[in-house]
Structure 1
Amino acid sequence: MVLPFPSPCVVGHEITGEVVEHGPLTDTKIVERLPVGSRVVGAFIMPCGNCFFCTKGQDDLCEAFFAYNRAKGTLYDGETRLFLRGSGKPVYMYSMGGMAEYAVVPAHGVAVLPHSLPYSESAIIGCAVFTAYGAMAHAAQVRPGDAVAVIGVGGVGSSCLQIARAFGASEIIAVDIQDDRLKKAKLLGATHVVNARSEDAVAKIKEITGGIGVDTCVEALGNPKTFLQCVQSVRDGGKAVMIGLTLSGAKGEIDINHLVRRQIKVMGSYGGRARHDLPKLVKLAESGIFNLDAAVSRKCKFEEAGQAYDDLNRGSIVGRAVVEIM
């Protein structure tokens, strides 16, 4: 994946941490909600709370987040909080720049993390779980009894399986080309698995659903081929939800007549809504409905992060990996 972003930067968009200080402009109510010493989990979409979309409750479209953090690698005053020692050269922030001992996070982007939840594993709530919830709750609006397919069951796609199960989906179809991922998908809620390397994924999904197609298909790869498979796999009136990112400027093709005549809904979903959804996701994990331990397949030290990213790029990490910074 190649997406434009300022460099040098500090990555790390899924975090858990402890509040050590409040900024001078922090609202008193937030200080009371998140006192120093609080354990917190962060959402990678950090809403400003004041823009057009935030005031309508659509934190996932926050204007400041996309204009400053995603476009410029800064917080919402247009400044990064990270600089190189000595030269003072700015270092940019991908989300909060969590791959460090300290991170600066807008208060609207964090929720309290109860001690009943594991500290390291809970970091994935802020993206893998958060993105899956946004797709299932807001874009697809999955209802009990729905048939759902997920194409690409890596860290985010496998979280979609658990969220679909939590929402009461009756048929949950996992599609991938790696047997180890499909094997794990069965443990995370998939009722059927399809290896798209050896089977026609669209035909198999139609077969499983009695020739109709699924109510919702989620594409979690960001690939033009699987984009088309996603659209072709949904029933008449169904929803094709795209959550995978790809090369900047990449295009996906759709049969316009099929789209129009069969009332197919094609939509993008980038993530959840931090102020409303993050506390809900904490409760899902706390109740055991979302299994964090099953979702995280690997933990590594900070010194091993480079190797973990290489393994991720090769597709050899099943599920989600977390980096522990002590």
Structure 2
Amino acid sequence: MKAQVFRGVNQLSYEEIPVPELENDEVLVQVQVVGLCQSDIKKIRYPLYEPPRIFGHETAGIIAKVGDRVTGWQVGQRVVVMHHIPCMHCDYCLNENFSMCETYKNITTTAGFSPSGGGFAEYVKVPGHIVRNGGLIPIPESVTFEQASFVEPTNCCLKAVKKAQVSPGQTVLVVGAGPIGLMFVMLVKYFGGRAIATDLLPSRIEKALSVGAEAAFDARDPDLQAKIGVLTGGMGVDTSILAVPSEKAFFQALDCTRKGGKILFFAEFPDEVEIPINPNVLYRREIDLMGSYSSSFRVQSLSADIVFNKRIDVDALISDRYPLQDLSKAVELAVKPTADTYKILLYP
């Protein structure tokens, strides 16, 4: 089969490799579409992992083979593949910190080499633990593979929205209106909140408005805090979500968040970034800082329901489609987006 093999920093090799061999409790899925995620891009562009590996984890496809001991799944079924499933019984899982679970971190889908997601290949192998514990989700006939590939990123955003306890009537500032920021706008609206978005690109500001933001502004607007004050009765927003890794964005969010509000870090910052802050600002204004990383098993069914029943319009997020052999071009576009670049999908 063909696969995009990570051979070193910024070195992708479109190669012929063996189809993964199955154990008797595993499932082989033929990949139909896989989304390109910012985490994939970081793994390709920075020395975070030893090569060789095959990345890609926002995967939808067709079951091509099942192991002898697999029950409940048949060849030909259309499925979303979740690349991580927690153990459900460690201390992290019992406290619903599923993404901190060692099983969650260490058992993942693979197309070969060190297991690393494996979606950037024609076939991906799903380990028995993931097969047995809810890591395959059947795709309804009315749902396309493209739409289904959004279940995993929707889960990640939904986890953050739930963690921030976004509720009807609240106002949420979404900092950054790329594909993830736009998904936050949609989810905030779905849960009855009012979304305000910021970005540097005029096209993304317009896009945020088109997918449900009540207001959207240029992040460089010197009157941003005042404008948000007008929209919130002088209070500021209840929650700010950082969908871009920017120190300036954090301080902007701090200025725009009300006393007793929350700031949630969703985008991953470079390790060398440190943000100096006077702790009395948090103390006196009672601001909660929180982070949300990866997905949550708790919201997996809800994320599938939201996508499959079209409660948010994931089709509106798709901007570009590439054959898998052009993954390098797709990464370059994501790193240097045009005015109309949002979600990029790849096809083996």
| Category of TM-score, reference length = shorter chain | 0.7 to 0.9
Instruction: Give 1:24 shift.
Output: 6.4
Q: Distance in 2 between matches of 1:25 and 1:231?
A: 53
Q: Distance in 2 between matches of 1:173 and 1:147?
A: 7
CA offset digits 1:146-187 (Å, max 9, x no partner): 001100111111110111011000x21011001111111112
Counterpart secondary structure, 2:293: coil
CA offset digits 1:193-214 (Å, max 9, x no partner): 0111344544433343232111
| TM-aligned CA distance change 1:100 to 1:257, over 3 Å | same
2:273 corresponds in structure 1 to 250
Q: How does 1:58-97 map to 2 (within 5 A)?
A: 58-66=97-105, 68=106, 75=107, 81-83=110-112, 91-94=113-116, 96-97=117-118
CA offset digits 1:43-92 (Å, max 9, x no partner): 354324443323444423322233x3xxxxxx37xxx9554xxxxxxx33
2:15 corresponds in structure 1 to none
Question: Is the CA contact (8 Å cut-off) linking 1:148 and 1:164 kept in structure 2?
Answer: yes
Q: Distance in 2 between matches of 1:35 and 1:51?
A: 31
- Aligned mate of 1:53, from 66, 75, 92: 92
Q: Distance in 1 between matches of 2:230 and 2:47?
A: 37
Q: How many residues align?
A: 298
| TM-aligned CA distance change 1:282 to 1:302, over 3 Å | same
Counterpart secondary structure, 2:206: helix
Q: TM-score, normalised by structure 2?
A: 0.78
RMSD: 2.3
Counterpart secondary structure, 2:64: coil
Query: Does residue 133 of the first structure (1) align with residue 158 of the second (2)?
Result: yes
| TM-aligned CA distance change 1:19 to 1:200, over 3 Å | farther
Provide structure 2 residue ranges, at least 5 long, that are not aligned to the other structure: 1-41
| TM-aligned CA distance change 1:249 to 1:92, over 3 Å | farther
Q: How does 1:145-160 map to 2 (within 5 A)?
A: 145-160=169-184
Name the structure where strand makes up a greater proportion of residues.
2
% same residue: 28
CA offset digits 1:259-278 (Å, max 9, x no partner): 0111111000013313x322
CA offset digits 1:132-156 (Å, max 9, x no partner): 111111x111110000110011111
2:249 corresponds in structure 1 to 226
- Aligned mate of 1:238, from 261, 265, 275: 261
Q: Distance in 2 between matches of 1:184 and 1:258?
A: 33
Q: TM-score, normalised by structure 1?
A: 0.83
Instruction: Name the amino acid aligned to 1:39.
Output: R
